[in-house]
Amino acid sequence: MTRSAKLRAMLLSDRLEFLMEAHNGLSARIVREAGFRGIWASGLAISAQFGVRDNNEASWTQVVEMLEFMADASDLPILLDGDTGYGNFNNMRRLVRKLEQRGIAGVCIEDKQFPKTNSFLNGERQPLADIGEFAGKIAAGKDTQGDPSFSIVARVEALIAGWGMDEALRRAEAYRRAGADAILIHSKLSKPDEIVTFAREWAGRSPIVIVPTRYYSTPTEVFRAAGISVVIWANHILRAAASAMQSVAREIHGSETLVNVEDRIVPVAEIFRLQDADEYSVAERLYLASSGPARAAIVLAATRGRGLEAVTVDRPKVMLPIAGKPLLRWLVDSFKKESINDITVVGGYRADAIDTAGIKLVVNERYAETGELASLACAIDALDSDAVISYGDLLFRSYVLRDLVESQADFTVVVDSSATAASNRTVRDFAYCSRSDDRGLFGTQVLLQKICSAAEGRHASAPAMLAPPAPAEAAQGRWIGLLNVSRAGLARLKGLLGELRARADFDTLDVPQLLNALIASGSRIEVLYVHGHWRGVNDLEDFRRATDFAHAQTPLGGGPGADETGD
Ligand code: SPV
Ligand code: MG
């Protein structure tokens, strides 16, 4: 059944039907959820929600635009309060065409003159339309409608304007003859006497619609007994909204806090529900996949930082300020630039001091006794997408991450070919690769063969986990702490991590050892070479240099003398 057929059926049904006022998409949805079978698109309420008067101050196209939102938000039939039809017969014809195009079920027009004034404002002084002219407008609307079920309700204002019952009946009959599908008889008395008399005299010639705003205390049974077809509750959603808004606005203004109102108003989640936000999420999964797979990031940020104790009494290393913002924020901003928004930070030492804006924080409670893999294990199980795994103490030029995430391999590490054993104070993360960075053969595939872990670095003579230790001098560069993993690679990484967890020394293992174990299990790890253009923060000297590096990355920062290696 179309909406227009539903409205027509309501007008013609034997039982008393009700239309509830709505004035925008949200209220239209709320009215439907309450169980109403139809909507009155009130001129007063739509004007008021725009903040203007019920004097045709809102243009008819603005009203029609609002109706479109209402029809989208609710599948109920909508009867538009079309005032006087916004002009003469010709405006009425265009209105009917536009309403039909937007799925509006019918329109009610009143026999006043354009621009109209609300019936409850100086009703007696309001000039009525000429009967013949108004009947012509009705006929023009009926001749224009394409859908035979579209309804035109003629509203008689004779009682409002003080012209008496005979005039009201004379007009109603003229409008019925012109083709009106129902008569709305309006009264401003506080008792239903006029409409009951009218209904008796009318004697069922066509359906009667009433608006009992003034005679609201009348028992609804009286309307049934009088043979009324449809009752319009004309402005109560608008008035309810206004009283709630006034009360909450006053309360918050007066108390300067939200604490007194939070439990008295719907949660934001309820607004999301009313907007059908879930449907959007489902559609997003269905249709946005083509714009590239979602990618997540894990940032390992559990340590205080050896050599940085003086500046990390009350915060972890990742919260050290570098050129005006914490180290972690530089990293998060870099991820966001690459549309990586699902960012999990694994905190540990002073995790409470980590700024959680835009990230998910998980805490490795045993950070003091465990290593990087234990931290990684805290976050990795929740992921099921391509992912970047990163140390938390990194700064890099934006192309480094961009090039990394463009990699098609299951595993890719970024290796700095300018970082040699001689140029580095640290002893870990040296990368041994299938070929060195010749910096000319762009696109040549280079594979990681082994990476030097902290454990190996500390005890150069200790047996390496999977391969004999190699001299750092023979390394082709240094892993900067960025690893890109495809979704398939992530599944393998999780499996391997599960196996390593069974080892007694799991708590001491670091990411290089995981990478070595991946290689040993047959996985290929591609190398993306860079030549400088990044900074790690491992001690106070690094901290100072990182600030210079960061300044060089910000607009108008750096310039000559900025400390940035690489070319
Ligand atoms: C409206 O809701 O805009 C109406 C009904 O026209 S009344 O305000 O009672 O005139
Ligand atoms: Mg109105």
Nearest C-alpha neighbor of 398 from the set 543, 527, 534, 294:
534
DSSP string, 279-337: HHHHHHHHHGGGG---EEEEEEE----TT-GGG-SSS-GGGSEETTEEHHHHHHHHHHH
Q: Is the CB of 55 under 6 A from ligand 1?
A: no
Q: Report pLDDT digits (tens) over 36-76.
A: 999 999 999 999 999 999 999 999 999 999 999 999 999 99
Find the angle CA(333)-CA(411)-CA(483) to the nearest 5 degrees: 30
Mean pLDDT of 151-160: 98
Q: Report pLDDT digits (tens) over 264-315.
A: 999 999 999 999 999 998 998 888 865 556 799 999 999 887 788 888 999 9
Residue type present at position 132: G
Q: Are 456 and 469 in contact (CB under 8 A)?
A: yes
Q: Which atom of ligand 1 is nearest to the CA of 110?
A: 6
- Judged by average pLDDT, the poorest of 69-83, 130-144, 205-219, 338-352 is 338-352
Residue 12: how many other CB atoms lie within 10 Å: 14
| Residue 461 binned pLDDT confidence (cut-offs 50, 70, 90) | very low
Q: Which atom of ligand 1 is nearest to the CA of 214?
A: 9
The domain defined by 270-551 carries CATH number 3.90.550.10: yes
3-state secondary structure at position 419: coil
Q: Which atom of ligand 1 is nearest to the CA of 234?
A: 2
Nearest C-alpha neighbor of 28 from the set 79, 81, 76, 84:
76
Q: Is the CB of 118 under 6 A from ligand 1?
A: yes
As a dihedral over the C-alpha atoms of residue 306, residue 307, residue 312, residue 315, rounded to 10 degrees, the angle is -30
Q: Whose CA is nearest to atom 2 of ligand 1?
A: 42
Same fold, 3-243 and 270-551: no
Whole-number Å distance, alpha carbon 43 to ligand 1 midpoint, is: 6
- Which-ligand-closest: CA of 212? 1
- The preferred substitution site among 44, 67, 80, 214 for testing ligand 1, maximizing ligand atoms within 8 Å of CB, is 44
Taking the C-alpha atoms of residue 73 and residue 71, their distance in angstroms, rounded to an integer, is: 6
Q: Are 45 and 238 in contact (CB under 8 A)?
A: yes
Whether residue 462 is predicted with pLDDT greater than 50 in this model: the reply is: no
The first and second tokens of residue 346, run together, are: 């694994």
Higher pLDDT pick, 401 / 311:
401
pTM over 0.75: no
Q: Is the CB of 103 under 6 A from ligand 1?
A: no
**Residue 65, CA distances (Å) to 57, 61, 253 in order:** 15, 6, 33
Whether residue 466 is predicted with pLDDT greater than 60 in this model: the reply is: no
Nearest C-alpha neighbor of 406 from the set 480, 298, 492, 484:
484
Whether residue 172 is predicted with pLDDT greater than 60 in this model: the reply is: yes
Q: Report pLDDT digits (tens) over 527-558.
A: 999 999 998 888 788 888 888 888 777 666 44
> Exposed, middle or buried: residue 136 (CB in 10 Å: 0-12, 13-18, 19+)?
middle
Strand partners, 386: 295
Q: Are 447 and 434 in contact (CB under 8 A)?
A: yes
List the domain boundaries for the chain.
Answer: 3-243, 270-551
The class that CATH gives domain 3-243 is alpha beta
Nearest C-alpha neighbor of 301 from the set 387, 367, 202:
367
Q: Is the CB of 383 under 6 A from ligand 1?
A: no
Q: Which atom of ligand 1 is nearest to the CA of 40?
A: 2
> What percent of the chain is predicted at pLDDT more than 90?
77
Taking the C-alpha atoms of residue 398 and residue 91, their distance in angstroms, rounded to an integer, is: 59
- Judged by average pLDDT, the poorest of 3-7, 48-52, 323-327 is 323-327
**Residue tagged active-site, from 54, 81, 410, 510:** 54
Whether residue 560 is predicted with pLDDT greater than 80 in this model: the reply is: no
- 54 among known catalytic residues: yes
Q: Are 537 and 327 in contact (CB under 8 A)?
A: yes
3-state secondary structure at position 63: helix
